[in-house]
A = this chain, B = another copy of it.
């Protein structure tokens, strides 16, 4: 019985036409077992981010359905936006959930990548945990120079795709597909209008500046709030905890006589990250995830769902997922 369960966070280069975003949402919702938890669009970045969870087969179907929608509605050659991108379906990361091993997420990413190139002839780069060349672990490295630079260099040894043709798809460009650990994206709003303060703090706290490992940070000005913000990614929040990043920003903010107004979390943090922060501030001795009720309820509910499957007569369909090929999944 396959228990593998994943999160998938496809990033699409469309954040302005609501009817196109709606078409993506509809395509995902048409796939039983692909649960769309959240999606958000940004007009300035001209980009939408979807959060899906499910088993391998429904996620693969949902991603292929998104490429179909992209093929009907998007034309990357005519796309403009603040965010760097090289594809209509720009990045597709898979994150293993529950006890699913990273290996299974990589196998799924590769399978999806193969299906995409076969059906749509889009060139694919494998990134993060699935990268075949060390540099390609980094999304920033893969996207440097954007679509324009990639078009010029795609047939060079350095930038030849991992799968598919060594030429951009005329409408869809290229795609970056891979697997990674859960990432925590959060922003700290400062009580200052001075973006240089945010930049100085970001520089000090991030790994590249000699600060916290696994922390990436930028200082930006948030027009709608009239305040500067430190925008951060914790790429391995199990090793480098959330609260530590906040406290380092607080420490550095003191130097500039400013303080933290509030924070914002992008996407859906896992219970482990949230509980670790609570345990730190509550000085909770003997804390572990096992101490939280829902951690057990989730295990019980999953066991019951699996029992339900095990109890089916052979050949009977898993409700909500009509494809009998499910057991082929890694």
Which A6-36 residues have a C-beta within 8 angstroms of B?
7, 35
Bound complex: CA A117 to CA B22 (Å): 59
Does residue A278 face the partner (Cβ distance < 8 Å to B)?
yes
Name A316's closest neighbour in chain B (CB-CB).
Answer: B311
Bound complex: CA A247 to CA B274 (Å): 19
Pick from B263, B293, B308: contact of A311, CB below 8 A. B308
Pick from B263, B277, B285, B298: contact of A294, CB below 8 A. B298
Flag A23-66 by CB within 8 Å of B: 1 or 0 each: 00000000000010100000000000000010000000000000
> Within the complex, what minimum Cβ distance (angstroms) separates A244 from chain B?
11
With A275-B278, A308-B308, A319-B310 known to touch, is A296 a contact of B268 (CB < 8 Å)? yes
> Within the complex, what minimum Cβ distance (angstroms) separates A222 from chain B?
12
For chain A, the bracket of interface size reads 35 or more
Which A238-296 residues have a C-beta within 8 angstroms of B?
242-243, 246, 260-265, 268-271, 274-275, 277-287, 291-296
Bound complex: CA A85 to CA B283 (Å): 32
Bound complex: CA A316 to CA B310 (Å): 13
Tell me if A282 and B277 are in contact (CB < 8 A): yes
Q: Which residues of B sit under 8 angstroms from A1, Cβ to Cβ? A: none
Q: In the complex, identify which listed stretch (A76-84, A208-216, A299-307) lies at the interface while the others stay far away.
A: A299-307
Does residue A119 face the partner (Cβ distance < 8 Å to B)?
no
> Within the complex, what minimum Cβ distance (angstroms) separates A273 from chain B?
9
Does residue A320 face the partner (Cβ distance < 8 Å to B)?
yes
Bound complex: CA A264 to CA B302 (Å): 29
Tell me if B292 and A270 are in contact (CB < 8 A): yes
With A97-B297, A301-B298 known to touch, is A282 a contact of B308 (CB < 8 Å)? no
| Copies per assembly | 2
Bound complex: CA A284 to CA B296 (Å): 26
Does residue A69 face the partner (Cβ distance < 8 Å to B)?
no
Tell me if A296 and B265 are in contact (CB < 8 A): no
Tell me if A297 and B296 are in contact (CB < 8 A): no
Does residue A309 face the partner (Cβ distance < 8 Å to B)?
yes
Tell me if A271 and B271 are in contact (CB < 8 A): yes
Bound complex: CA A98 to CA B269 (Å): 20
Tell me if B53 and A281 are in contact (CB < 8 A): no
Bound complex: CA A310 to CA B305 (Å): 11
Q: Which residues of B sit under 8 angstroms from A261, Cβ to Cβ? A: 283
Q: Which residues of B sit under 8 angstroms from A304, Cβ to Cβ? A: 301, 305, 308, 319-320
> Within the complex, what minimum Cβ distance (angstroms) separates A154 from chain B?
36
Q: Which residues of B sit under 8 angstroms from A302, Cβ to Cβ? A: 301
Q: Which residues of A contact B (CB under 8 A)?
A: 5, 7, 35, 37, 53, 97-98, 189, 242-243, 246, 260-265, 268-271, 274-275, 277-287, 291-298, 300-305, 307-312, 316-317, 319-320
Additional pairs, 12, CB under 8 Å, beyond known A98-B297, A263-B283: A5-B297, A37-B293, A97-B293, A263-B282, A269-B293, A271-B294, A280-B281, A298-B298, A301-B305, A304-B305, A305-B305, A310-B319
- For this complex, 9 residue pairs linking A to B, each with C-beta atoms less than 8 Å apart, are A260-B283, A262-B283, A263-B283, A263-B285, A268-B296, A271-B293, A305-B305, A308-B308, A311-B319
